[in-house]
A and B are shown apart, each in its own frame.
Chain A
Amino acid sequence: MSAVTAAPAPARPAAKPLPPISYKAPIAYVVIAVLALIGFGLLPASGRRTGFTVSTSTDFFQIDRFDVPSKTTAIVLTLIALALGALTFWYARNRRKVGLWLPAVYAVVLVFALLVWAVAGKNQPLPLTSLLQGSLFLAVPLVFGSLAGMLCERSGIINIAIEGQLLAGAFLAAVVGTLTQSAYLGLIAAPIAGALVSALLVAFAVKYVVDQIIVGVVLNVLVVGITSYLFSTVLKVNASTLNTPPRLPTLPIPVLSEIPVLGPVLFRQTALVYLMYVVVIALQILVFRSKWGLRLRAVGEHPKAADTVGIKVNRTRIRNTLLGGAVAGLGGAFFTVANGLAFGKEMTGGKGYIALAAMILGRWSPKGALAAALLFGFADNLQVVLGIIGTPIPSQLMLMTPYVVTIFAVAGLVGKVRAPAAEGIAYVK
């Protein structure tokens, strides 16, 4: 090691020329920041103020509402974004990698600029805490869904059936929760339903070597069909005995939930959300730091090599796909027992597909999936909150943003994403 560092320049095999510097990403950063500067900062009329509230009424520490001058704040925020954009030029010129903090700070600053502009001049302040609380809330099924997708795809099975697994989980959670009058039993039943859908997925994908995307798409239709059919024939008629699930109670964690802003957001939640923290952290460690995780990834990247060293490829795939289905089913419980809502036809509304996108955006890692799911949850909730306050942006265009962001991300603005090498390819000895 020291020999290499001692004589760096001549020893390095410099035959391979460096790739040309790409300024695509820096240009995009700067252009978006300039547009934001013009749109949020320079064009709007001056003299308006934007209000924010931080505390909820039940907080131990109360923080008063604070107002900021809209125009100046928006200009300052977008200038920060512009400076970050300029910094990426410097990074690119020196061929240095941009850390993850830069796009994160850039996005936060721009989102704040958007908020300041959108709420400018309104009497009602923007409730920051409930905005974040709602984002986390809406992100729950997406987090579980994308973790499920990650588990399956890391083992080499493409799981398009996340939507079906969520829906099946929601259905069984509602029915079991109502029958037993226990939200927790409903929560336990949900993963079983998800795993059942996964069982069909592996049966066709591994045993009959059917294309995995086809099975996934078709399973989604099948689950929609079966749950809607049972809903129309059985649940609707016996709504009181079969489809009025109790609600999971909110469990505030004693001291932590009194922290301003973070407390109510993170620690005044249901058992499902605490479970989500545990699952994300556990998977992040297990997938990348444990024997099980190594085998999981080996099977998904190079099944033949894994087989050669004695790992049972198909058994590993089957187990992890079942586990993934169970995780997604747990996310399905969000729709019914976590909210105390009755099951409805197609109530997951495409969240499974969004979870799939979150998984890809999060580059097949648990923490990435969490971040991407939170992004989608935030965009979703922002639209709700701004809808209440009243904003200049049409709600449909707000709803569109996460999907547009995903397309940009997948198309490579955020960085190249690479799927597990052997995903979608059946392993036949």
Chain B
Amino acid sequence: MNAAPDVPAKDAQDERLEPRLQGALREMLTSNWLVTVAALLLALIVSGVLIAAADEDVHTTASYLFARPTDFLSAVWNSVWHAYVALFQGAIVDPTASTFAKAVRPLTETMTWSVPLILAGLGLAVGFRAGLFNIGAQGQIILGAVFGGYIGFAFGLPPVLHLLLAIIAAALGGAIWAGIAGFLKARTGANEVIVTIMLNNIAVYLVAYLLTTTAFKREGSNNPQSPPIDSTAIYPRLLGDDFRLHAGFLLAIVATVFVWWLMDRSTLGFQFRAVGANPSAARTAGININRIYLLVMITSGALAGLAGSAQVLGTEKVLTAGVAASFGFDAITVALLGRSKPLGTFLAGLLFGALRAGGFAMQSRTGTPIDIVLVVQSLVVLFIAAPPLVRAVFRLPSPGRRQQISPTPAPVTKEAAA
């Protein structure tokens, strides 16, 4: 990504002699956001094929395809169109709803779903840019939820202080869990991918075990769940009790700004990026890279821990074994889609939150299983990681063709990883 902002600038310099309109058009066609939009479109098309393939009307009309092909085509169009309309109505706004509150509810649902995705995604993005592939957001979310939840239900404290302490504890929980991986990476060179995968599994069993102990188990309940979180430790609802949207969303905005400041404006963030770009060069420049590995993982885990707090103190209000759902794994795709940039991650989190919220609506209205959302998500990330493929499909001009600076897409993909 470091190269990307430079390329259009050089383009513009070279193209002073060209007609201005043509230059602007060219810049637009080669820009990254256009690739993003094209990738999303391509993912929706491929998923549309899957939706149509499983539709019964499509099956029946396919049997007389050659007799009346228009029936088949309209059946395909209907199945896909209805599914995506339901997805949109469940995610953004539902014009068919009776009241205004019901019409905008989908948007607030999208925002609610996006909170843990954004927070955990930001955490992973910090790691990626420092060259650490932290797959452990799942475990870090769980530990954040365990720590935050315990403060939330076990202590009686005054309102604001209680919530604040619970949030800090959640961040601490995630930071400790990720810190293990960072410490081992720094001390022994243990591969952080493997260690974080293992820590994910350990966290799953750890929370299951804790929920059987007297300290965590709700009295008189047969289900493995904690006592309810005290009302003093719950994120206040932003739009009244009718909507699930809670103050965790504000936290996500603050965290986004913080990560931007950390990575783009602070000395520490510069060191993070330096280690990510080239550890050997960073060491030569006097950066203690082992210390940076530990700090990166702690920052990354703290953000994922905050995602856990959003779940346990905001949406669920109780600690269960499934508190992290699959947010930790979805967050990987969020961070990749956001190209590890704060704003990009924020928007990617919103998009995936929308897919999730809309997916439930789509499932209940058109019977299209929500699993298709996973397909859309993974395809988007896959296509975005391979801009040449998207450009080839849509016949877009490639940015480096005139200059021949980088015939391979290596800088872009490396940034997505780094």
A residues near B, CB below 8 A?
A: 160, 204, 208-211, 213-215, 217-219, 221-222, 224-226, 228-234, 345, 350, 353-354, 356-357, 360, 394, 396-397, 399-400, 403-404, 406-407, 410-412, 419, 426, 428
Contact A412 B54 (CB under 8 A): no
Question: Which one of A204, A224, A410 lies within 8 Å of B191 (CB-CB)?
Answer: A410
Pair A350/B54 contact, Cβ less than 8 Å: no
Given contacts A215-B382, A225-B375, A350-B201, whether A396 and B413 have CB atoms under 8 Å apart is: no
Closest to A399 in B: B205
Residue contact A229 to B372, C-beta cutoff 8 Å? yes
0/1 string, B25-69, CB within 8 A of A gives 1: 000000000000000000000000010001000000000000000
Please measure, in the bound complex, the distance between the C-alpha atom of A409 and the C-alpha atom of B376, giving whole angstroms.
37
Nearest CB in chain B: distance from A111 CB, A:
19
Contact, CB under 8 Å: A394 / B209: yes
Chain B residues in 8 Å Cβ range of A208: 385-386, 388-389, 409, 413
Q: Return chain B residues, CB-CB under 8 Å to A211.
A: 385, 413-414, 416-417
How far apart are the CA atoms of A156 and B332 in the complex, in Å?
23
How many whole Å from A363's CB to the nearest CB in chain B? 13
B212 & A396 in contact (Cβ 8 Å cutoff): yes
Which residues of B lie under 8 Å from residue A350 when comparing CB positions?
201
User: Of B88-96, B155-163, B192-200, B238-246, which binds chain A?
Assistant: B192-200
Give chain A residues whose Cβ lies under 8 Å from the Cβ of B206: 396, 400
Given the contacts A214-B336, A221-B333, A357-B197, A410 and B190 also touching, CB distance less than 8 Å: yes
B378, A406: Cβ atoms closer than 8 Å: no
> 8 Å CB contacts to A: which residues of B355-388?
368-369, 371-379, 381-382, 385-386, 388
Tell whether, in the assembled complex, residue B371 and residue A229 are in contact, meaning their CB atoms are under 8 Å apart: yes
The tally of CB-CB contacts under 8 A between chains A and B is: 147
Q: Is the CB of B133 closer than 8 A to any CB of chain A?
A: yes
Quick check: A222 and B382 within 8 Å, CB to CB? yes
A-B contact pairs, 30 of them (CB 8 A): A204-B386, A208-B388, A209-B408, A211-B417, A215-B385, A217-B329, A221-B329, A221-B333, A225-B373, A225-B374, A225-B378, A229-B54, A229-B369, A229-B371, A229-B372, A232-B369, A232-B371, A350-B201, A353-B201, A356-B197, A394-B209, A396-B206, A396-B209, A400-B205, A400-B209, A404-B198, A410-B184, A410-B198, A411-B188, A419-B191
Further contacts, 17 of them, CB under 8 A, given A210-B386, A213-B193, A222-B379: A160-B193, A208-B388, A210-B382, A211-B414, A215-B385, A218-B378, A219-B378, A224-B371, A226-B375, A228-B371, A230-B54, A353-B201, A356-B197, A396-B206, A400-B209, A403-B202, A407-B198
Decide: A403 near B198, CB < 8 A? Known: A229-B54, A360-B191, A411-B188.
yes
Specify the chain A residue showing the minimal Cβ separation from B207: A396
* Least distance between A93 CB and chain B CB atoms (Å): 23
Which residues on the A side are within 8 Å of B194 (C-beta)?
356-357, 360, 406, 410
Chain B residues whose CB sits within 8 angstroms of the CB of A419 once the complex forms: 191
Query: Closest approach, in angstroms, between the C-beta of B97 and any C-beta of chain A?
Result: 27
Assuming A357-B197, A411-B184, is B336 touching A218 (CB within 8 A)?
Answer: yes
Cβ contacts under 8 Å, A397 to chain B = 205, 209
Which residues of A are found within 8 Å of B409, using beta-carbon distances?
Answer: 208-209
Asked if residues A225 and B389 are in contact (CB atoms below 8 Å), the reply is no
Determine the distance from Cα of A345 to Cα of B189 in the docked complex, in whole angstroms: 36
Residues of B contacting A357 in the complex (Cβ-Cβ under 8 angstroms): 194, 197-198
Which residue of A219, A233, A403 contacts B54 across the interface (Cβ within 8 Å)?
A233
Which residue of chain B is the closest to A354 with respect to CB atoms? B201
The CA of A224 and the CA of B376, in the complex, are separated in Å by: 12
Decide: A396 near B208, CB < 8 A? Known: A407-B190, A410-B194: yes
The CA-CA distance from A356 to B196 in the complex, in Å, is: 13
* CB–CB A225/B377 < 8 A: yes
Interface residues of B in 226-259 (CB under 8 A from A): none
Residues in A neighbouring B202, C-beta threshold 8 A:
400, 403-404
Interface size class of B (residues with CB under 8 A): 35 or more
Expressed in whole angstroms, the minimum distance between the Cβ of B349 and any Cβ of chain A is: 16
How does the 8 Å CB contact mask read for B390-418 relative to A, with 1 for contact and 0 for none? 00000000000000000011100110110
Cβ distance A418 to chain B, nearest Cβ, rounded Å: 10
Docked CA distance A210–B412 (Å): 9
CB distance from B323 to the nearest CB of A (A): 15
Q: How far is the CA of A225 from the CA of B417 in the complex (A)?
A: 23
Q: Say yes or no for B350: interface residue by CB 8 A criterion.
A: no
Report chain B residues within 8 Å CB of A232. Answer: 369, 371
Provide the bound-state CA to CA distance between A211 and B333, in Å.
13
Instruction: A112 to B400: give the CA distance in the assembly, Å.
Output: 64
State the Cβ distance, B52 to closest chain A Cβ, in Å. 11
Which residue of chain A has its CB nearest to the CB of B212? A394
Minimum Cβ distance to chain A for residue B61 (Å): 17
Contacts of A210 in B (CB 8 A): 382, 385-386, 413, 416
Q: Which of B199-222 contact A (CB under 8 A)?
A: 199, 201-202, 205-206, 208-209, 212
Evaluate contact between B374 and A224: CB separation under 8 angstroms.
yes
| A208, chain B: closest CB distance, angstroms | 4
Pick the most buried of A229, A234, A350: most chain B CB atoms within 10 A of its CB.
A229
List A contacts of B199 (CB < 8 A).
403, 407
Q: Are A214 and B416 in contact (CB under 8 A)?
A: yes
Please report which residues of chain B, range 108-133, place their CB below 8 angstroms from some CB of chain A when the two chains form the complex: 133
B135 touches A217 (CB 8 A): yes
A221 with B50, Cβ < 8 A, contacts A232-B371, A403-B202, A428-B410 known: no
Distance A360 CA – B417 CA, assembled complex (angstroms):
22
Which of B184, B329, B382 gathers the greatest number of chain A CB atoms within 10 Å? B382
Task: Check A428/B414 contact, CB under 8 A, given A204-B382, A396-B206, A411-B184.
Answer: no
List of A residues within 8 angstroms of B389 by Cβ: 208
B377 proximity list for chain A (CB < 8 A) = 221, 225
Is there contact, CB below 8 Å, between A407 and B195? yes
- Tell me whether A213 and B195 are in contact (CB under 8 A): no
Contacts known (A213-B417, A217-B332, A428-B408); A228 close to B374, Cβ less than 8 A: yes
Cα A52 to Cα B155 in complex, Å, equals 48
The 9 closest A-B pairs by CB, nearest first: A225-B374, A233-B54, A211-B417, A396-B209, A232-B369, A208-B386, A228-B371, A222-B378, A225-B375
Residue among A209, A214, A412 making CB contact with B381, cutoff 8 Å? A214
Residues of chain B within 8 A (CB-CB) of A406 are 194, 198
- Which residues of chain A come closer than 8 Å to B382, judged between CB atoms? 204, 210, 215, 218-219, 222
CB–CB A229/B375 < 8 A: yes
Query: In the complex, how many angstroms separate the beta carbon of B185 from the nearest chain A beta carbon?
Result: 9
With A and B bound together, what is the CA distance between A204 and B416 in angstroms?
14
A-contact 0/1 string along B131-155, CB 8 Å cutoff: 0010100000000000000000000
Q: Which residues of the other chain, A, contact B379 by a CB distance below 8 angstroms?
A: 222
Among residues of B, the one whose C-beta sits closest to the C-beta of A225 is B374
The CA of A217 and the CA of B381, in the complex, are separated in Å by 10
Residues of A within 8 A of B413 (CB): 208-211, 214
Q: Restricting to B326-349, which residues have a CB under 8 Å from any CB of A?
A: 329, 332-333, 336
- Say yes or no: A218-B209 contact (C-beta < 8 A), given A204-B385, A204-B386, A225-B377: no
A226 touches B385 (CB 8 A): no
Other-chain contact of B371, A219, A225, A360, A396 (Cβ < 8 Å): A225
CB distance from B413 to the nearest CB of A (A): 5
B371 partner residues in chain A, CB cutoff 8 A: 224-226, 228-229, 231-232, 345
Give the chain A neighbours of B410 by CB distance below 8 A: 209, 426, 428
Q: A247 → chain B, closest Cβ, in Å?
A: 27
Return chain B residues, CB-CB under 8 Å to A218: 333, 336, 378, 381-382, 385
Shortest beta-carbon distance from A171 to chain B in Å:
13
Q: Which residues of A sit under 8 angstroms from B416, Cβ to Cβ?
A: 210-211, 214
